[in-house]
Amino acid sequence: MLVRVALGEAARRGPRLRITGPELDDLAHQAAADALMAITGKLGQFRGESRFTTWAYKFVIFEVSAKIGRHFWRHPAVSLDAEDWERLPGRFGVDPAHQAEWGDLFAALRRAVDSELTARQREVFVAIVLNDVPLDTLVIHLGSSRNAIYQVLFDARRKLRAALAAGGYLGHDSVGRS
């Protein structure tokens, strides 16, 4: 059952991942095996808040995510710390032919990245936003957790938005958590 869920999840994500065939099957089987270990170790934590199978499948999904993150860590499409700022407008869907129109906005964003963010926030922003590194891959690279990296990016987003709003580039947001 766990293998079937893992294979289904790998197949669901596969087309977007450039992982196919035996490699994808192997990833799914490893994910199912590791999920079984996780489930066995956490059985005492099941509190009956959902069907048991839903709770168990969750660990299969998490393991597929983790295996995919590890795959991209081993086979990165882009260096994790490369800094090609010319890519930034394209990451937000701006057509290269129209990038000049958005030059001021993205120049302001780059200034804010350099002036407002801590070194850690900048590192995470560059990897995830500029280089399109999957968050779960960055988690492995930095030896961190998804929650910690998300929080770093959350705080970076809040700071950047405030800086761009102060400069008149974006409207003001509601107050974010500190």
* CA angle 115–101–160, rounded 5-degree value: 25
- 159-178 positions binding other proteins, by CB under 8 A: 160-161, 164, 170-171, 173-177
Residues within window 91-150 making contact with other proteins, judged by CB under 8 A = 92-94, 98, 102, 105-106, 109, 129, 134-136, 145-147, 150
In whole angstroms, the minimum distance from the beta carbon of 4 to other proteins comes to: 9
Q: Does 22 bind other proteins (CB under 8 A)?
A: no
Neighbours of 91 (CB within 10 A): 13
| Beta carbon nearer to other proteins, 120 or 158 | 158
CB-neighbour burial class of residue 97 (10 A; exposed 0-12, middle 13-18, buried 19+): exposed
Three-state DSSP class for residue 158: helix
SS3 47: coil
Stretch of 22-30, 34-42, 76-84, 153-161 contacting other proteins, by CB under 8 A: 153-161
Shortest Å distance, C-beta 82 to other proteins: 20
Residue 32's H or E segment, with its range, is helix 21-42
Backbone angles phi, psi at 22, to 5 degrees: -60, -35
Task: For the CB of residue 167, give the shortest distance to other proteins in the complex, in Å.
Answer: 13
- What gap in Å lies between CA 148 and CA 142, rounded to an integer? 10
Selected binder of other proteins within 28, 32, 35, 60 (CB under 8 A): 60
| Phi-psi domain of 93 (left: phi exceeds 0; alpha: psi -120 through 50; beta: other) | left
The residues of the shown chain that bind other proteins, judged by CB under 8 A, are 1, 5, 8-9, 12-13, 49-51, 53-55, 57-58, 60-62, 64-65, 89, 92-94, 98, 102, 105-106, 109, 129, 134-136, 145-147, 150-151, 154, 157-158, 160-161, 164, 170-171, 173-177
